[in-house]
Chains A and B, each alone.
Chain A
Amino acid sequence: MITLLKNGKVYDPAHGKNGVKQDIYIRDGHIIAKPSKTERIHETIDLKDKVVMAGAIDMHSHIGGGKVNIARMMLPEYQETLNYSEPEAHICTPNCSHNATPSTTDAGMRYIEMGYTAAFEPAILPINARQAHLEMGDTPMIDKGGYAMLGNDDYFLRLLAGKANQKTINDYVAWTLHATQTIGIKVVNPGGISAFKFNQRRLDLDENNTYYQVNPRQILKSLSRAVHDLGIAKPLHVHCNNLGAAGNFQTTLDTMGASDGIAMHLTHIQFHSYGKEGDKKFSSAAAEISEAINNNKHITADVGQILFGQTVTASGDNMMQHLNANHANPKKSVIMDIECDGGCGVVPFKYRDENYVNALQWAIGLEIFLSVEDPWRVFLTTDHPNGAPFTSYPHLIRLLMDKSFRDEAFSRLNLDAQAMSNLTAIDREYSLYEIATMTRAGASKLIGLNDRGHLGTGAGADITIYSEQADKEAMFSKPDYVFKDGELVVKNGEVVKVVWGKTHTTKPDYDHGVEKGLRDYFNQYHTVQLDNFKISDDEMAADGRNSIVTHTKPCAKPPINR
């Protein structure tokens, strides 16, 4: 059966197409070349003047796993915010649910209604990977995947402290990707979560974890090298040390140099771009950070934009979240040490535009978006739910595409914060092509999803179609059509068919001899069997809905003219 999407205006940055009028043919879930005249077209949808993009990909969103579920459990009041209207700079739309702790069903439905067809859980604690996949398995409509957290686990730190060679580290990293069914590796506050268990309260890039006598720079170097050597497409996903601390931008700049030029992705960089100038000792370092991203081609970043309203921050960084718990609103939090593997901190937050720090955080995120020149190296995230629920993406897109709208929102901010930001001096407005780059082609290339994020022949037919509107928030809130793997699943912003996505993984080759040391470690120190730590392919598919896509080789050179 062939479906023809006719006459659309195609924005497909992977193929350099910027609003080109083009027909798209779909068969068996994939985009195909124009069929021969003898083949029958079963269905034709006329998309005259409609904007056609690949399905959007959220490369960093906390949608499954222990800390997200703790947030749900701790915050029953959030389920009552569905029709909550916010009198602050956040201008609401009916689609903006404000729900920072959606159920798995809600998460899938809200994503697909906005034209997102994939989301990646960026913080899978290996011991908790099974739960993360179970939750994502219960998330309908979209494709999923995750990044496994290493660098604070005692097994890795023992290897590093014992001066294990790089090959051993590489094998352990590869083994972890297999065991946890993930597609990338993340490090959170490198060494800091472990240091907190030894009662250290902060850890700078060149400061030692007192027990292991290794520092974050060594951890970053070792893990980024492993990811590189194994040929994994997704660069090491780095949540820098000193999250949220005034003056932390220097740590962030120094972190960019820690990998000796090997690719790294610095995540939710807005939270790591703070100076300590001014009366309040809190200022924007967006200019320094953006310039460094522009100059360091091995660095990519997602922003982690904050938007005003009630949300919850859920992070593996229990060291810094323990400090942040003093600002919890409502006043409650969960801080956990977990299984000699990592930790977590769940702290509810209410970002307010009349608050100096919050207002400046908002401006800093936008300054970075608008000052990083290359949309292939910066990604649209709110670090859901940490900066704001992902349902606020259409609002964020409008802030990027519409200077007058942005300036109007800015004018409502805390006045001291306005005085400390140069946001209104930035005239840039993102184009549809740049939005498509950030949210589709760039994200797909970054993660190494060969057949997603573009509309070329052979791509999975994840396609979103919008009516072009002056109000970009309205436009991106409610696509006309969304196709998932070739099936029409959303019509006029409403789900018309429920489907279950796939899980994207990568499984690099490695020396299975690495398991001997791991087995000894598990037998002596752990409380579960090594074999139960690992998640098999069969287990992933046991619910009868999920299936695994393994991206065995990194994306070859991007099929892209830049």
Chain B
Amino acid sequence: MALNQTKSLVLATCPACGMLCDDINANDAPTSTCEKSIAFFTQNAVKSTPRIAGKQVNLSEAIAKVTAILKPAKQVLLAGLSTDLAGFRSAYQLADKTNAALAHMNATTTWRNLKVLQSTGWQTTTLTEVKNRADVIVCIGTDVVKHNPRFFERIVWPKKAMFVKNEGRDVIYLGGKGLDTSHGVSPKGKRPTVLPCDPIKLPEVTAALHALVAGKTLNTKQVAGITIKDLVAIAERLKQAKYAVLIWIAKDLDFPHAELTIQQITQTVVTLNETTRAGALAMGGSDGDTTVNYAHTWLSGLAIDQEVLPEHDALIWVNSFSPEKTVPDTGTPTVVIGNPNMKFDNEPDVFIPIATPGLDCAGTMIRVDSNVILPLKQVRETQLPTLAEVFLQVEAAL
């Protein structure tokens, strides 16, 4: 007998951020605590047709125009790549056939992390471990909730955990400005430790924390406005923790050579693991960035390109998940394939609206902490083609 024939309520998986919450009741009006999720599942099912220079056409006319753009091009770029696994696989195949380059809209932030992975590596953990084990949670330069709104609700303050009680957890915000630290308050009202600083000062703060955890003494009274006494207290709390978790979000570390700050964080975790247990955790994620990078890695042997817009003379921009994001104007012939709710200041040469994975069609995505791969469900009907269907037709026409 097959396993997946349970009669229970089918819950949807939300691709609006890297956490991929898969407990969304999308059948009724979504009642999530997460605005991103509500916005995703309630976006308009607009009746949209392909357009050439703003003029409505049918799909085959649009495909013909796409091939007319691709054929003379010497270096096609398939970019944006806000899509799921099936979409990316089809993009990879088309790129293979047309010798096109592939790039993701989040490459800059993805590479802040990858540079650390490729330089020293790291010791990391995942969400279920954090939920059940973490007794100290340090959010560095981020409140997390701006990117992953349900992080505290689902992971830090669960109803039950195997090895730690909620009131036994300490939440610390280190660095960052204007953070929403309200989610760090425990269900019984225990307040987090908040030590703000200008994000640009995080390189110094994280280096100081690493030094203190490694047992060094610092001959100064403060770093970036944070007293050494406070930093020493954090270092001691980390060393006493049974399972400390140090969290960052690459998008929030928006300054030159942020990878060096991330490395200070991950090396602090490595040092902690000499005597106790700790894990690093990169959160955030959007637009299928983790999925695209992982699949690119196994298909080609290498991670996704470092550049968001490498050199090209024809551009195909894919944007399934973020209709509000604009298309870069590169001055080259541009095809946009994406969410039917996308708006344009300058209409592209071709626009093909497609089904959104997790809403209009099923799909697959990789969660931001890696290792967890979740199916996306179809929750409504659409006439729109999927990205893979469009690319297959382009391939056939070439």
A binding-site residues for B, Cβ under 8 Å: 64, 66, 68-70, 72-76, 78-79, 99, 101-106, 125, 127-128, 130-131, 134-135, 138, 154, 175, 178-179, 196-199, 211, 322, 325, 328, 331-341, 346, 512, 524-529, 531-532, 534, 536-537, 539, 543
Contact = CB atoms under 8 A, between A and B. Distances in A.
A493 to B, nearest CB: 22
A196 B4 CA distance: 34
Nearest to A536: B4
Contacts of B373: 128, 130-131, 134
Contacts of A328: 121
A340 B162 contact: yes
Contact of B119 (A72, A332, A346): A332
Contacts of B276: 199
B129 A525 contact: no
A453 to B, nearest CB: 27
B interface residue count range (under 10 / 10 to 19 / 20 to 34 / 35 or more): 35 or more
17 contacts: A69-B298, A76-B118, A104-B298, A135-B298, A138-B298, A197-B133, A334-B121, A335-B124, A336-B125, A337-B279, A339-B128, A340-B129, A524-B160, A525-B128, A527-B155, A528-B22, A529-B11
Interface stretch (B251-259, B326-334, B364-372): B364-372
Contacts, number: 171
B189 interface: no
Contact of A340 (B23, B132, B364): B132
B371 A527 contact: no
B294 A69 contact: yes
A146 B2 CA distance: 19
Nearest to A522: B128
Given A130-B373, A154-B162, A525 B132 contact: yes
Nearest to A68: B298
A339 B4 contact: no
Given A131-B373, A336-B125, 18 more contacts: A68-B298, A103-B300, A104-B298, A131-B294, A138-B298, A199-B276, A199-B277, A332-B118, A334-B122, A335-B121, A337-B279, A338-B371, A339-B371, A339-B372, A340-B129, A527-B127, A531-B6, A536-B3
A526 B273 CA distance: 24
Contacts of A131: 294, 366, 371, 373
B41 interface: no
A334 B297 contact: no
A529 to B, nearest CB: 5
Interface string B94-123: 000000000000000000001001111111
B302 A79 contact: yes
Contacts of B370: 66, 70
A341 B10 CA distance: 24
A271 to B, nearest CB: 21
A530 to B, nearest CB: 9
B161 to A, nearest CB: 7
B237 interface: no
A233 B300 CA distance: 35
A562 to B, nearest CB: 37
Contacts of B300: 103
Contact of A73 (B22, B128, B163, B303): B303
B8 interface: yes
A325 B274 CA distance: 12
B303 A527 contact: no
B117 A536 contact: no
B8 A531 contact: yes
A446 B122 CA distance: 37
Q: Which 3 A-B pairs have the closest CB atoms?
A: A103-B301, A332-B121, A130-B373
B291 to A, nearest CB: 10
A476 B354 CA distance: 49
Interface in B241-256: 242-243
B323 interface: no
A197 to B, nearest CB: 6
A72 B371 contact: no
Q: Please indicate which of the listed interface residues B11, B126, B133 has the most CB atoms of chain A within 10 Å of its own CB.
A: B126
Nearest to B20: A528
B297 A73 contact: yes
Contacts of B118: 73-76, 332
Nearest to A130: B373
Nearest to A529: B22
Contacts of A539: 375
Contacts of A528: 22, 372, 374
A495 B163 CA distance: 53
Interface in B300-358: 300-303
A102 B301 contact: yes
A525 B133 CA distance: 11
Contact of A69 (B2, B161, B297): B297
B83 interface: no
A76 B303 contact: yes
